[in-house]
Structure 1
Amino acid sequence: MSGGFAPVEGGGSLILAWQIKNKRVLVIGGGEVAAGRILNVLNADAKVTVVSPRDGLNEEVAFRVDNGQVDFVDRKFEPSDLDNVDMVLTAVDDPEASTRIWTLCKERKIAANIADVPPECDFYFGSVHRDGPLQIMVSTNGNGPKLASIVRKQIATNLPNNIGAAIQKVGLLRRKLRKVAPKIEEGPKRMQWMSRVCESWSLDDLVEMDEGDMERLLGFYGPGTVPTLQNIRCDDPEQFAFDGSFGWW
């Protein structure tokens, strides 16, 4: 580090959680790669249209078409398919056709991913581990998708089994806290208090916490203290609010 700051390391990608709920996503192709792309964007609640001759659909894509999970156009791609589209995912075994689609997307300023052609991608798909609200993506910036999958699996094996459920409970507690302290100026205090809860409670405690526990815990937000789960479940939890001997904040 120079001057106490992290050095700039070029060549990376900006990894974001892209919110595409109700966005219009066009998938061109119906094979195995397209199937993976379709599942990814369906999991993000996008509105998906698949363009491909029906005889080019693999079993999974055909299932999603037949069950109405995606809209389907039974033919090869035409430029008019790009009308009113927010994102394009191309997965066809035709490099020239793929490049033409990429060029059209650039002309229309539509974000696009051309499978297996990193220079013709506005974004890459990484290898994702999912546990409820938790998503962890590993990206090799288009260099080695299989290696990304191996790294992702190694990371996943080291995660606690109940991490997804704990995150769901924390999310509910945060929403309740916003109702208790809705003012903008409360933001820093809300963040600090929630950080203390996450740091001092175990994952098992967070999973076990029910809505009654949350209501009692929120009673300690005002003085900025964080009792344990066991103490908020005792007969008189207020007696613990300011007892520094327990090491609370």
Structure 2
Amino acid sequence: MGGATFPEIEGGGSLILAWQVKNKKVLVVGGGEVAAGRILNLLNADAKVTLISPRDGLNPEVAYRVDHEQVEYHDKKFEPSDLDDPAITMVLTAIDDPEASSRVWKLCKEKRIAANIADVPPECDFYFGSVHRDGPLQIMVSTNGNGPKMANIVRRRIAATLPPNIGAAITKVGALRKKLRVLAPGDEQGPKRMKWMTKVCVQWTLEDLCEMSEQDMDDLLQSFGPDVVPSLEELKLGETPGQWQFDGSFGWACVI
């Protein structure tokens, strides 16, 4: 490899992923404050939540979710047979009984179901971090179970440095990407789409992206073929490849 250098391995971390649980069944055991936070995270991710907890153990927020039928609710204590449903993809427990929590953990291991046992890091296949949310933007800070409060402090510090309009800008970028896929479909166009979108994100400011209208998007897409990125001001003034005429292959263009 000659003089090549590579990153040093730093063990002890977690593989941080964005787990897609949309329309997937997740079982939550317990109905207290911790369960309330877990349920909110799951519902924000469009999961199908099944909750098992005696009614007298529900905190006000969890009771609200139950009363408004935002979760499938079973007013009882957990039983091993509750894990027999093959549709369950994940189990979260948030109960005050350590022995009962460990029993759930062992049952999940037997059935190969990913589980998180609140406040017991060794009995977790994954951890919940402190999350900042702004529209489509999500930033998670994890301490790998060492200090949840510190994760919250770090997350707040990071969030304070972000522009207030970054979520709206990302939403506009997502809409532009969808339009681009319609304009230039196919895997063969993939590399060019990625490079062109990168140029847009680098050359345009967050304010430009937020201000971009549907018409601006359509006008901007006219420059995909010749692989240029005009500024928003140029689009507004009509001073850009306006316009460009394509032969349909995105291989060349001429200016009129």
Q: Compute the TM-score of the two structures, normalised by the length of structure 2.
A: 0.91
> What letter is aligned with 2:118?
A
Name which of 155, 160, 165 aligns with 1:162: 165
| Range 193-202 or range 79-88, more displaced | 79-88
Where does residue 250 of structure 2 map in the other structure? none
Say if 2:216 is the partner of 1:209: no
Are the equivalent residues in 2 in contact too, given 1:231–1:240 (CA < 8 A)? no
Q: With structure 1 as the length reference, what TM-score do the two structures score?
A: 0.94
**Residues 28, 35 of structure 2: 8 Å contact kept:** yes
Q: Distance in 2 between matches of 1:235 and 1:11?
A: 55
Aligned partner of 1:96 in structure 2 is 99
Name the structure 2 match of 1:238: 241
Q: Which amino acid aligns with 1:153?
A: R
Q: Deviations over 1:78-135 (max 9, x none)?
A: 0111122111000001111000000000000000000000000000000000000000
CA contact (8 A) 1:129 1:137 kept: yes
Structure 1 residue aligned with 2:252:
none
- Is the contact made by 1:227 and 1:240 (CA closer than 8 Å) also made in structure 2? no
Cα separation, 1, equivalents of 2:195 and 2:112: 41
Distance 2:84 2:179 in 1: 42
Q: After the TM superposition, which residues 1-249 of structure 1 pair with which residues of structure 2 at under 5 Å, given as runs?
A: 3-84=4-85, 85-238=88-241
RMSD: 1.3
**Post-superposition CA distance 1:48-73 (Å, at most 9, x none):** 11111100001110010011011111
Question: What SS does the corresponding residue of 1:8 show, helix, strand or coil?
Answer: coil
Identity, in percent, stands at: 69
- In structure 2, C-alpha distance between the alignment counterparts of 1:110 and 1:139, rounded to whole Å: 22
What CA distance in whole angstroms lies between the structure 1 residues aligned with 2:216 and 2:96? 56
Gaps of 5+ in 1: 242-249
The 3-state SS of whatever aligns with 2:14 is coil
Structure 2: gaps of 5 or more residues: 245-256
Measured after TM superposition, the shift of residue 239 of structure 1 is: 6.8
Alpha-carbon distance in structure 2 between the residues aligned to 1:145 and 1:186: 43
C-alpha separation between the residues in 2 aligned to 1:170 and 1:188?
17
Instruction: Mark the CA change 1:45 to 1:158 in structure 2 (over 3 Å): closer, same or farther.
Output: same
Look up the SS of the partner of 1:72 in the other structure: strand
* Aligned residue identity for 1:166: A
**SS of corresponding position for 1:237:** coil
Partner of 2:254: none
Q: How far apart, in 2, do the equivalents of 1:183 and 1:137 lie?
A: 33
Aligned residues: 240
- 1:157-199 alpha-carbon deviations (Å, 9 max, x no partner): 0000000000000000001111111121111111110000000
> Distance between the aligned counterparts of 2:200 and 2:239, measured in 1?
20
- What's the secondary structure of 2:241's corresponding residue? helix
How much has 1:16 moved relative to structure 2? 0.4
